[in-house]
Structure 1
Amino acid sequence: MVEIHSEVCGSHMNGHVLSKKILRAGYYWLTMERDSIQFVRKCHQCQVHGDLIRSPPVELHAMAAPWPFMAWGMNVTGPIELKAQMGIDSSW
């Protein structure tokens, strides 16, 4: 589990991904997913670097122009006739 999570094969993935990688490596036991999740929770590197927010805080700004709503349009069609009105049975 240590090798797949952090050494040869790993990039410190979460518990679910770790259990899938272990399965692909050819290992299986009944509590594999639960054990993987608990192992990742105890990993020191994941605890140190896991909760970092990588975007700087920025003040929120309101949108000045309603640009998504600038190009509203309407398609006008003639009357829609149902197949049942034209004498064709429309039952499925």
Structure 2
Amino acid sequence: MVTFRGDSSAPWFADFANYHIGNFIVKGMTSKQKNKFFKDVKHYFSDDPFLFKICADQVIWRCVHSKEALDILEACHNGPTGGYHDANLTAKKVFDAGFFWPTIYKDAHEFVKNCDSCQRQGKISQHDEMPQNLIQICEIFDVWGIDFMGPFP
């Protein structure tokens, strides 16, 4: 995967993939950018044709392009196991499915904000909530008692 910086169709992880597959490093980076690149690239590995990220807790996520990310968001939000949940839970479902991209939370919030079903339903207002009444729990010996009497002749 050889791409050039500034190529808008290139995925966000193109530089990491180029480094792992062919030892290509983008020319023209400052020393500060190179230090950041080498610090970040050690958390990624390639298994052709995919690039994976290893997190601090040793969970491995597959890196996805923004075009594929929309399909994944839709499946996690609208799919059979989706449930039209809020943005944070949708993002968690994406992580649980094993996918990663840097703008996942922003994209999930935008996706839920534009979901017609979610906007029509909205949240339940406090006025419409059912009141919660406590149920007093009563044990049998709170009401009745037993007295033991000693040996009879």
TM-score (norm 1): 0.55
Q: Partners of 2:109 and 2:129 in 1: how far apart?
A: 27
Residue 3 of structure 1 is matched in structure 2 by: 75
Q: Name the structure with the higher helix share.
A: 2
Stretches of 4+ aligned residues off by more than 6 angstroms: none
One-letter code aligned to 2:104: M
One-letter code aligned to 1:47: Q
TM-score (norm 2): 0.34
Q: Partners of 2:110 and 2:120 in 1: how far apart?
A: 16
Greater relative contact order structure (CA < 8 Å, 6+ sep): 1
* Matching of residues 44-83 of structure 1 within 5 Å: 44-53=116-125, 54-55=128-129
| % identical aligned pairs | 27
How much does 1:44 deviate? 0.2
Q: Name the structure with the higher strand share.
A: 2
* Matching of residues 16-55 of structure 1 within 5 Å: 16-53=88-125, 54-55=128-129
Deviations 1:31-56 (A, max 9, x none): 00110000000000000011454448
Residue 86 of structure 1 is matched in structure 2 by: none
How much does 1:9 deviate? 1.4
SS at match of 2:81: coil
Deviations 1:17-76 (A, max 9, x none): 1111100001110000110000000000000011454448xxxxxxxxxxxxxxxxxxxx
SS at match of 2:100: coil
Aligned residues: 57
